[in-house]
Structure 1
Amino acid sequence: MTANNGVKTFESILSLKQEMNQLTINFGKKTQNASKLMELLYQKPIISINDILEPLSISKPTANSLVGNFEKLGILKELTGYNRNKLFAFEKYLSIYSQN
């Protein structure tokens, strides 16, 4: 039973990665940063803007723009409702673990 759940989780993650790769390929000049952010989200699926500045080596305005694009595509969802210190969740990834 546990092994089957592990396989199912792994397959779900692979499927999600393929879906996300298709979305991030269309970011034009931002494709490299979008790919880096996606990789970061698999390690840390709940983030703030400040969490991505150093790992991606980008400015705050660039981070805000990138996260805004991810929100529009439904990759990230804002959790707090605040104007500042917002937290964003990679819900599709988190939902894989809540299903299994």
Structure 2
Amino acid sequence: MAADLSALRAYAAAAQNMARAAEGPQATEAAGASDFSAMVSSAVQNTGTSLAQAEQFTAGAAMGQTELIDVVTAVSAAEVQLQTVMAVRDEVIRAYNDILKMPI
């Protein structure tokens, strides 16, 4: 279920990017910085939500209220989202370090 929401959000973001690209290069450049920060912020929030949902499913399974497959699915989705956010973070840090190494 969480993976479905992530996919829908990704499709919506892609559609917005395509619409902005159709508006012209100035609109795309102006919205670029805020889009990136909004994307990162959204990814962190979504990851937190997925982790919280995985914890709820785990607690529900401990009390016998949730199926084990739901727990496994929620934990796997949260893990994938966390790994994605960490990979993006690593790439941003790598890019920042590359910029710092550029000669002035």
Q: Per the shorter chain, which TM-score range?
A: 0.3 to 0.5
TM-score normalised to structure 2 length: 0.32
The structure whose Rg is larger is: 2
Larger fraction in helix: 2
Larger fraction in strand: 1
TM-score normalised to structure 1 length: 0.34
